[in-house]
């Protein structure tokens, strides 16, 4: 695979060349490089997924790298949370998680190299001075930018704290030939001499990302387009070291329905919140991939299909809009497709959380799978599934007052009483036999089937909607059916 690249560095001259971003092993290598300053969110998960699919499609490697150089904002909890999210989505990585805080010696040696080669310099300006100049620039309506005043200091001042800045070229343009965005140009005079190492000795993002991507032999950088503006800065750092930059592909943003950047205002943005709301990881993966990528009109994909069809060419240039309704629909499709046994297992933690069973409670999983199977087409999340399973599992159900008023009138209770008698004698408590009982009951009394079925449904499930009643009764089982009928008959 060969990609055309041009990074134009000299003023008014076009320095165009081809770069084959493959490493010496001729293997595609990509990475997901989250900063652990929050949970794995929808946007990050999509970036991880696209990298994962690109690696798998190309028989390449997928590296996980934790970018925790900003120690004040990174936490162990968030590292765990990100890893937990990746695992839940089954985005398994081949290498890592590497942590940038384990690699400070490497970064320091590269900073030294730039200093020795005169491509970086010590800056003695204090944060207060910088802030004052920033305010002055703003007051004059200018974009604040470091003025380079320490660039030419020749005598080191070892007693003064210093940060290290990279000497950015100030002339010419940098042209990024982005795999998704196409050609994007930047004026070099807009770039400032960025700090690559703070005065406390910690290196900064734009620098370490370059060192790591080279060191880890990353061939393609696929990330959110909030990093597009960082790309020219990073390209200059690659050039300063004499390294060929990898290929870049910047993913369009994800927006909420109101076309503003997706945020908490639009609902849950953390991946694990979707787990808690009863979404299936495969459904979320399927939804995430469609936030920007398409393959004809197909909406539902297996993981294997995604790996087979995935390509960067099919990623759209415009922002994607997050649509919770569509995600819910996809989730329902995945619930229908999933086998009942697996769903029953998935439902257990939700049954516990909803207080329907207790932790460690023994359940006949074969039986639970039958109950789940009857509900698969009627629920959209595992939370809905757990709540519907309530009337299969509990001894008694709470009856919806409106349904009670409508369907449990005195004349219905009389019928239920008689039916209770008949069902008590029924030895073969199967859907088919129960159905026969109901038909003959309706016939004997000259009433419609619904006139007896609906009161029974209300008495047994607590509401007016359920899967086929006879199947429900069989699964609930004779014992509980009789108990619930008795309770209703007795006015409970």
Residue 33 or residue 437: which is nearer to ligand GLU going by CB? 33
DSSP-derived letter for residue 151 is T
What pairs with residue 197 in β-bridges? 164, 203
Q: Which two tokens stand for residue 270?
A: 């953390």
CA distances 482 to 154, 286, 411, 418, 426, Å, are 94, 44, 19, 12, 11
**Catalytic annotation present for 264:** yes
Residue indicated by tokens 């070291």: 241
Q: How far is the CB of 67 from ligand GLU (least distance, A)?
A: 4
Distance CA 213, CA 489 (A): 73
Q: How far is the CB of 226 from ligand GLU (least distance, A)?
A: 7
What pairs with residue 65 in β-bridges? 98
Distance of CA 176 to the CA centre of its chain: 28
Distance CA 254, CA 50 (A): 14
Residue 33 or residue 372: which is nearer to ligand GLU going by CB? 33
Single out the residue of 383, 390, 379, 333 nearest to residue 356, CA to CA.
Answer: 390
Single out the residue of 140, 66, 63, 150 nearest to residue 115, CA to CA.
Answer: 150
Q: How far is the CB of 32 from ligand GLU (least distance, A)?
A: 8
Residue 34 or residue 85: which is nearer to ligand GLU going by CB? 34
Residue 78 or residue 274: which is nearer to ligand GLU going by CB? 78
Which residue among the candidates 264, 308, 337, 448 is catalytic per the annotation? Answer: 264
* Total count of residues recorded for the chain: 492
Q: How far is the CB of 260 from ligand GLU (least distance, A)?
A: 19
DSSP-derived letter for residue 261 is B
Instruction: Taking each helix axis as running N to C, give the angle between helix 340-353 and helix 365-375, from 0 to 180 degrees, rounded to the nearest 10.
Output: 90
Distance CA 325, CA 321 (A): 12
Q: How far is the CB of 326 from ligand GLU (least distance, A)?
A: 26
Residue 42 or residue 389: which is nearer to ligand GLU going by CB? 42
Residue 28 or residue 375: which is nearer to ligand GLU going by CB? 28
Q: How far is the CB of 66 from ligand GLU (least distance, A)?
A: 9
CA distances 220 to 1, 19, 31, 58, 226, Å, are 12, 12, 8, 12, 17
Please report, as ranges, the residues that interact with ligand GLU according to CB under 6 A. Answer: 33-35, 67, 209, 223, 227
DSSP-derived letter for residue 160 is S
By annotation, the residues acting in catalysis are 264
């Amino acid at each position: 695979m060969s990609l055309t690249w041009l990074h134009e560095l000299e003023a008014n001259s076009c320095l165009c060349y081809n770069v084959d971003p493959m490493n010496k092993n001729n293997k595609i290598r990509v990475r997901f490089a989250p900063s652990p300053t929050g949970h794995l969110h929808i946007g990050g998960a999509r970036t991880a997924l696209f990298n994962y699919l690109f690696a798998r499609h190309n028989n390449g490697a997928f590296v996980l790298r934790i970018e925790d150089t900003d120690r004040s904002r990174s936490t162990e909890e968030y590292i765990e949370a990100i890893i937990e999210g990746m695992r839940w989505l089954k985005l398994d990585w081949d290498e890592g998680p590497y942590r940038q805080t384990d690699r400070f010696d490497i970064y320091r040696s590269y900073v030294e190299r730039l200093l020795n080669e005169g491509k970086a310099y010590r800056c003695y300006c204090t944060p207060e001075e910088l802030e004052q100049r920033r305010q002055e620039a703003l007051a004059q309506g200018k974009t604040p930018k470091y003025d380079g005043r320490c660039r030419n200091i020749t005598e080191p001042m070892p007693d003064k704290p210093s940060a290290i800045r990279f000497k950015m070229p100030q002339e010419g343009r940098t042209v990024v030939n982005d795999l998704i965005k196409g050609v994007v140009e930047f004026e070099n005079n807009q770039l400032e001499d960025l700090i690559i190492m703070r005065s406390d000795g910690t290196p900064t993002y734009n620098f370490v990302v370059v060192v790591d991507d080279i060191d880890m032999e990353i061939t393609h950088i696929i990330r959110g387009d909030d990093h597009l503006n960082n790309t020219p800065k990073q390209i200059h750092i690659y050039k300063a070291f004499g390294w060929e930059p990898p290929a870049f592909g910047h993913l369009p943003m994800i927006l909420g329905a109101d076309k503003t950047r997706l945020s908490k205002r639009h609902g849950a943005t953390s991946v694990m919140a979707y787990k808690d709301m009863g979404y299936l990881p495969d459904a979320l993966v399927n939804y995430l991939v469609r936030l920007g990528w398409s393959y004809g009109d197909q909406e539902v994909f297996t993981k294997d299909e995604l790996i087979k069809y995935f390509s960067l060419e099919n990623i759209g240039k415009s922002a994607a809009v997050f649509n919770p309704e569509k995600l819910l629909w996809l989730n329902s499709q995945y619930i229908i497709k999933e086998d009942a046994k697996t769903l029953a297992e998935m439902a257990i933690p939700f049954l516990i959380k909803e207080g329907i069973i207790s932790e460690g409670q023994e359940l006949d999983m074969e039986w639970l799978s039958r109950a789940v199977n009857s509900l698969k087409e009627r629920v959209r999340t595992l939370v809905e599934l757990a709540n519907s399973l309530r009337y299969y599992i509990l001894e008694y159900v709470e009856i919806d007052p409106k349904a009670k008023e409508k369907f449990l009138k005195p004349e219905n209770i009389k019928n239920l009483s008689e039916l209770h008698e008949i069902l008590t004698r029924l030895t073969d408590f199967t859907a088919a036999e129960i159905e026969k009982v109901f038909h003959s009951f309706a016939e004997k009394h000259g009433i419609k089937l619904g006139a007896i079925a609906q009161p029974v449904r209300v008495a047994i499930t607590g509401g007016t909607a359920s899967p086929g009643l006879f199947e429900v009764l069989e699964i609930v089982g004779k014992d509980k059916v009789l108990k619930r009928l008795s309770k209703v008959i007795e006015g409970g």
